[in-house]
């Protein structure tokens, strides 16, 4: 075991709390639902960026390169000033949903360079312009642009011309789980000397202003060892801590409390408020900071002029013991040696996790993907019942709030470290995103992956009716039910790594998933036809209508993807039941239930009970949504999109040995097939071994798979050089249109990047981009079908090329196309398109951003540019393809 593996084991056994401290601080708390106490639910306007420096947050904190304890009581982050900005840079800036021409968008350049699961080593890079930060320019220009124009980025403003910026690296290393070393190194990349102020800032999350019986914590200046400044912390939960700073910085103190005078023209409770350091430095208010050198927020104020091409380093140390030894050098050779040691241990950890044959470039991309996953964890706090009612010390919320957003989730009380899609653009969890995170995370920290899946099924997350919370803006919305798939995959990955399957995890998650499955069946198949209506299933943005909204009385859509997700849910539950039945035969009964339910769903999708109006279109050889307008008018919506490829995901194989030990299940399965001969289309037992027939369960039988694969691997349809598009390129020349009862025409046409329609609002618009999670599921499905048919099932790849490949080879080729979005080929990374600085500059070209989705024609990154979450699946694809 490597040193990091030993720490992970000690943490899992609760022997040493290596995960108590980590990069768990959000990058945006302003503009979130949690901080929104407005009557109209307009979170962005209720708490804008301009308020963030002056207003105490209620539910969390944010900062640059932040670090905190897992409960987010004690926070640390970086503040910067280039002596030109009109705002102290304490947090990242970005546009709100209404300011960006494609929705909300962070307008900063920062990178997660390295991390290991215990956070014993972390490395982050922030690129800070030497010119005044162009806040207004970014707002004004983006506001003017239309959906058909690209976003106006920070790079477009010219502030990085001639390399006039600082590369600010922030590193953390743990000597012990309570001795945390911090190293901040700023490089002047410009041609001339440039001045920089660095303010390492420590503060307490405000937990005392809301009517709770918390003793107010305190940080104060005390006498430290020679050549250093020392802060003493006293916090109710953690007791005493000390932060030591090398050198003799000016010490600044204030309180983490709202500046009510600035925001509301009301008298401040204390003269020393949250924005004191901004006012002291930039506005010259000497009385803004506390001369008594104490408070609930403190910073060391370091200043330097850095020569061109040179660096400047600031060192700090957060400890649980008083560094009072005057003879000890807390920042000497030992300090640097700890960084060297932890960095070497990180290299050893990833060396063991990395495929032997992959290139150095692929290794670097994979490691940054994992780093983003680890930096993407956040200490998340939200008590919905209290949020709805308001706090006793604050004005009561508008009465309409009791019937507004999330009012049905009063049981939800979250206070945990959670994997986030993105800590600026999506600083709140999303249930289906998290499932994909866990599969990637299982490669490096399987215990955390398992814990996350279980967490979301605990009674303070899962609704009493069995629904999982979707995401903060609307917990009642519906995401694809991929948790069963994730649990099964994490179980297999973790078992492979440890050499021992964690059956208790599987039992726990299986029983909670039974409850969730029942919710889906009862709520989303109201007519009992085994055809499902979902709502927001991750793909409604490539549909004709907004499926999260009612279509009017008597109107509804039979969803190809919603129904396919449920079939996939059945198969994953069946696989888990078969696994668990090995030790407990009682699970055979449940296995029979999911086998039969899958077959019913698959049959309904293909035939709809003999009505001839199924989701399968025999003429086209494709699955479509079907629109019902009242009782009489029924029409397939012939859009060739990922909606019609989702049925491919619902496929699983079972070996005769699996079935042999389950005699009760086998007997009931045979009885079911004998008495329902019409369903055998979805149960293939044609492949034999010496132990007997093998079993393939699939929505689409082999003949249908062959027809759909022709579309999938056709470069004029779904297959791009960078993966499978969400919408066929066929619709570029052949848009789909439909007219509703009011005579309004609705249409879908191919667009490779963000859509120009505003149907779904904000940045929730796309038509043809490549999505990593959907491609990943498709690759796995190809592998499973190949596992069953082997060399006997080949496809033309690409369609029309005359080249025949097995499905395994086709999946491998698809993996390479996806991986190549990030890998350097012929001096370019497709993810950065034609941005010369990102492609060629030595200080930029190896910094990777893991975007939300990718241009279907060029592979350029789109959407949330730090959304490592599900795009971190590229780490698994690199492992499989051996790039």
Q: How confident is the model at residue 354 (pLDDT cuts 50, 70, 90)?
A: confident
Of 98, 101, 99, 85, whose CA–CA distance to 134 is shortest? 85
Note the pLDDT of residue 612. Answer: 52
- Backbone φ/ψ region at 453: left (φ over 0), alpha (ψ -120 to 50), beta: alpha
165 in Cβ contact with 128 (< 8 Å): yes
Beta bridge partners, 577, equal none
HSE at residue 420, side-chain half, CA atoms within 13 A, is 25
Angle at 87 between CA 137 and CA 56, to 5 degrees: 120
DSSP of 377-446 = EEEEEEEHHHHHH--TTSPPPPGGGGGSTTTT-TT-EEEEEEE-SBTTTB-S-BHHHHHHHHHHHTTT-H
Percent of the chain with pLDDT over 70: 95
In this prediction, residues 740-761 reach a mean pLDDT of 74
pLDDT for residue 614 is more than 80: no
The residues, ordered by sequence, that sit 6+ positions from 402 with a Cβ below 8 Å of its Cβ are 388
pTM of the predicted model, to two decimals? 0.96
Compute the average pLDDT of residues 405-431.
Answer: 96
Q: Residue 250: is its pLDDT beyond 80?
A: yes
Mean pLDDT throughout 248-266?
97
- pLDDT-derived band at 757, boundaries 50, 70, 90: confident
Question: DSSP letter at 214?
Answer: P
pLDDT, position 609: 44
Confidence label for 559 from pLDDT (cuts 50, 70 and 90): confident
Taking 80 as the threshold, does the pLDDT of residue 881 lie above it? no
pLDDT digits (tens, 9 = 90+) for 573-599: 999 999 999 999 999 999 999 999 999
CB atoms within 10 A of CB 614: 22
Q: CA nearest 729: which of 825, 858, 850?
A: 858
- Characterize 816-837 residue by residue with b for buried, 16 or more Cβ atoms within 10 angstroms of its Cβ, and e for exposed: bbbbbbbbbeeebbbbbeebee
Side by side, the strands of the sheet bearing 218-222 are: 109-115, 121-129, 165-176, 179-188, 311-319, 239-246, 228-235, 218-222, 294-295
Other Cβ atoms less than 10 A from the Cβ of 434: the count is 27
**DSSP structure string for 100-127:** SBTB-EE--EEEEEEE-TT-SEEEEEEE
Is the pLDDT assigned to residue 358 strictly greater than 60? yes
* Cβ contacts of 281 within 8 Å, gap of 6 or more: 81, 88, 197, 301
Q: Is the pLDDT of residue 9 over 50?
A: yes
Distance, in Å, from the CA atom of 514 to the CA atom of 462, rounded to the nearest integer, reads: 12
Separation in Å, CA 164 to CA 87, 160, 309: 19, 5, 11
- The single-letter DSSP state of residue 223 is -
Buried b (16+ CB within 10 A) or exposed e, 263-302: eeeeeeeeebbbbbbbbbbbeeeeebbbeeebbbbbbbbb
For residue 761, how many other CB atoms are within 10 A of its CB? Answer: 12
Distances (CA, A) of 248 to 218, 301, 327, 441, 634: 21, 9, 17, 41, 77
**Residue 547 has what pLDDT?**
57
Q: What is the 3-state secondary structure (H, E, C) of 613-669?
A: CCCEECCCCEECEEEEECCCEEEEECCCEHHHHHHHHCEEEECHHHHHCCHHHHHHH
pLDDT digits over 494-509, tens only? 999 999 999 999 999 9
pLDDT score of 553 more than 90: no
Crossing angle of the two packed helices 772-789 and 702-712, in degrees rounded to 10: 140
Nearest to 128 by CA among 212, 65, 39: 65
CA distances to 115, 210, 390, 398 from 395, in Å = 42, 11, 8, 9
For residue 278, what pLDDT is reported?
98
* 218: phi then psi, degrees, rounded to nearest 5: -150, 145
For range 630-646, the mean pLDDT: 85
Give, in order, the Cα–Cα distances in Å from 336 to each of 117, 703, 780.
Answer: 21, 63, 44
Closest CA to 820 of 812, 831, 836: 831
State mean pLDDT over 833-842.
96
Radius of gyration of the chain (CA): 28
Question: Of 801, 470, 787, 782, nearest to 645 (Cα)?
Answer: 782
With a cut of 60, say whether residue 611 has pLDDT above it. Answer: no
The pLDDT of residue 371 is: 98
* The pLDDT of residue 132 is above 80: yes
Report the range of poorest mean pLDDT among 206-215, 439-448, 782-791.
206-215
DSSP code, position 172: E
- pLDDT over 90 for what percent of the chain? 81
Sequence-separated (6 or more) residues with CB below 8 Å from residue 500: none
DSSP string over 708-764: HHHHHT-TTTTEETTEEBSB-THHHHS-EEEE-TTS-EEEE---SSB-S--SS-TT-
Q: Considering the chain, what is the average pLDDT of its residues?
A: 93
Distances (CA, A) of 148 to 145, 305, 763: 8, 43, 13
As a whole number, mean pLDDT of residues 102-126 equals: 97
Residue 748's pLDDT band (cuts 50, 70, 90):
confident
Angle of helix 333-353 relative to helix 360-375, nearest 10 degrees, comes to 110
SS3 505: helix
pLDDT of 657 > 70? The answer is yes
Cβ neighbours, 10 Å, residue 258: 23
Query: What gap in Å lies between CA 156 and CA 138, rounded to an integer?
Result: 9
Read off the pLDDT band of 818 (50, 70, 90): very high
8 Å CB contact between 358 and 823: no
Question: Residue 870 — pLDDT band, cuts 50, 70, 90?
Answer: very high
* pLDDT band for position 554 (cuts 50, 70, 90): low
Q: Which of 436, 421, 304 is nearest to 372 (CA)?
A: 421
Q: SS3 of 369, please?
A: helix
Instruction: Answer whether residue 763 shows pLDDT above 60.
Output: no
C-alpha 784/C-alpha 649 separation (Å) is: 10
**Quick one: 17 exposed, middle or buried, by C-beta within 10 A (0-12, 13-18, 19+)?**
middle
Say what the pLDDT of residue 368 is: 98
Task: pLDDT band for 532, please (50, 70, 90 cuts).
Answer: confident
- CA 472, CA 618: separation in Å to the nearest integer? 41
Q: Which residues contact 211 (CB under 8 A, 6 or more apart)?
A: 391, 392, 393
Are 805 and 794 in contact by the 8 Å Cβ rule? The answer is yes
Is the CB of residue 766 less than 8 Å from the CB of residue 541?
A: yes
- Positive or negative, the CA dihedral 361, 364, 366, 372 is negative
Where does 13-160 have alpha helices with state H? 43-46, 49-52, 135-144
- Helix or strand or coil: residue 230? strand
Least confident of 443-457, 655-669, 777-791: 655-669
């Amino acid at each position: 075991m490597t040193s990091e593996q030993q720490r992970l084991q000690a943490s899992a056994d609760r022997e040493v709390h290596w995960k108590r401290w980590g990069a768990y601080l959000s990058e945006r708390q302003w503009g979130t639902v949690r901080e929104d106490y407005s009557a109209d639910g307009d979170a962005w306007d209720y708490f804008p960026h301009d308020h963030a420096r002056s207003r105490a947050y209620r539910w969390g904190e944010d900062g640059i390169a932040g670090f905190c304890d897992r409960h987010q009581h004690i926070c640390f982050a970086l503040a910067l000033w280039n002596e030109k900005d009109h705002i102290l840079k304490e947090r990242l800036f970005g546009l709100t949903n209404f300011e960006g021409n494609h929705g909300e968008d962070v307008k900063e350049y920062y990178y997660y360079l390295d991390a290991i699961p215990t956070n014993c080593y972390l490395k982050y890079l922030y690129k800070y312009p030497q010119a005044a930060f162009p806040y207004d320019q970014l707002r004004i220009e983006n506001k003017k642009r239309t959906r058909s124009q690209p976003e106006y980025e920070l790079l477009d403003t010219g502030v990085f011309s001639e390399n006039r910026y600082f590369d600010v690296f922030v590193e953390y290393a743990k000597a012990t789980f309570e001795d945390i070393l911090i190293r901040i190194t700023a490089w002047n990349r410009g041609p001339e000397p440039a001045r920089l102020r660095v303010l390492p800032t420590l503060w307490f999350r405000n937990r005392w202003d809301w009517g709770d019986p918390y003793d107010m914590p305190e940080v104060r200046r005390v006498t430290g060892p020679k050549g250093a400044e020392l802060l003493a912390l006293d916090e109710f939960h953690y007791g005493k801590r000390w932060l030591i700073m090398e050198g003799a910085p000016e010490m600044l103190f204030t309180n983490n409390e709202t500046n009510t005078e600035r925001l509301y023209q009301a008298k401040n409770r204390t003269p020393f408020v949250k924005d004191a350091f901004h006012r002291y430095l930039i506005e010259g208010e000497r009385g803004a900071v506390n001369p008594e050198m104490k408070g609930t927020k403190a910073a060391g104020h370091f200043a330097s002029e850095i020569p061109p091409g040179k660096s400047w380093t600031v060192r700090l140390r957060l400890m649980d013991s008083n560094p009072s030894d005057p003879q000890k050098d807390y920042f000497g050779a030992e300090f640097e040696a700890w960084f060297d040691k932890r960095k070497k241990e990180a290299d050893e950890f990833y060396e063991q996790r990395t495929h032997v044959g992959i290139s150095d470039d692929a290794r670097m991309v994979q490691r940054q993907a994992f780093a983003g996953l680890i930096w993407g964890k956040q200490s998340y706090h939200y008590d919905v019942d209290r949020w709805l009612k308001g706090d006793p010390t604050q004005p009561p919320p508008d009465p309409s709030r009791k019937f507004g957003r999330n009012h049905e989730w009063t049981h939800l009380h979250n206070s945990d470290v959670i994997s986030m899609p993105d800590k600026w653009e999506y600083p709140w969890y999303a249930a289906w995103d998290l499932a994909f995170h866990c599969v990637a995370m299982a490669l490096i920290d399987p215990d955390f992956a398992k814990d996350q899946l279980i967490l979301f099924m605990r009674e303070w997350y899962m609704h009493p009716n069995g629904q999982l919370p979707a995401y903060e803006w609307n917990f009642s919305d519906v995401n694809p039910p991929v948790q069963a798939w994730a649990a099964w995959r994490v179980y297999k990955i973790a078992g492979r790594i440890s050499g021992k399957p964690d059956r208790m995890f599987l039992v726990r998650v299986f029983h909670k998933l039974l409850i969730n499955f029942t919710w889906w069946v009862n709520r989303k198949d109201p007519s009992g036809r085994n055809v499902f209506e979902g709502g927001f299933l991750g793909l409604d943005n490539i549909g004709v209508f907004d499926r999260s909204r009612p279509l009017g009385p008597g109107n509804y859509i039979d969803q190809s993807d919603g129904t396919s997700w449920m079939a996939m849910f059945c198969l994953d539950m069946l696989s888990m039941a078969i696994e668990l039945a090995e030790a407990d035969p009682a699970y055979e009964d449940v296995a029979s239930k999911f086998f039969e339910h899958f077959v019913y769903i698959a049959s309904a999708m293909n035939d709809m009970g003999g009505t001839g109006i199924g989701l399968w279109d025999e003429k086209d050889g494709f699955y479509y949504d079907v629109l019902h307008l009242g009782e009489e008018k029924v029409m397939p919506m012939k859009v060739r999109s990922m909606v019609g490829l989702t049925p491919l995901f619902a496929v699983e194989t079972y070996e005769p040995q699996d079935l042999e030990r389950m005699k009760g299940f086998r007997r009931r399965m045979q009885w079911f097939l004998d008495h329902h001969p019409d369903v055998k289309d979805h149960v293939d037992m044609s492949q034999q071994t010496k132990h007997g027939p093998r079993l393939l369960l699939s929505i689409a039988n082999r003949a249908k798979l062959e027809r759909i694969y022709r579309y999938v691997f056709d470069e004029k349809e779904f297959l791009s050089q960078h993966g499978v598009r969400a919408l066929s390129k066929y619709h570029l020349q052949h848009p789909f249109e439909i007219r509703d009862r009011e005579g309004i025409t609705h249409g879908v046409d191919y667009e490779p990047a963000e859509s120009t329609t505003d149907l779904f609002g904000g940045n929730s618009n796309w038509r043809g981009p490549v999505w990593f999670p959907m491609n990943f599921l498709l690759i796995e499905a190809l592998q499973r079908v190949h596992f069953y048919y082997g060399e006997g099932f080949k496809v033309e790849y690409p369609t029309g090329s005359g080249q025949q490949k097995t499905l395994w080879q086709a999946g491998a080729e698809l993996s390479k196309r996806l991986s190549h979005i990030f890998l350097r080929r012929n001096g370019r990374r497709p993810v950065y398109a034609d941005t010369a600085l990102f492609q060629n500059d030595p200080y930029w070209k190896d910094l990777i951003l893991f975007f939300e989705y990718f241009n279907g024609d060029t592979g350029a990154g789109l959407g949330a540019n730090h959304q490592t979450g599900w795009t971190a699946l590229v780490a698994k694809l690199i492992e499989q393809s051996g790039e």
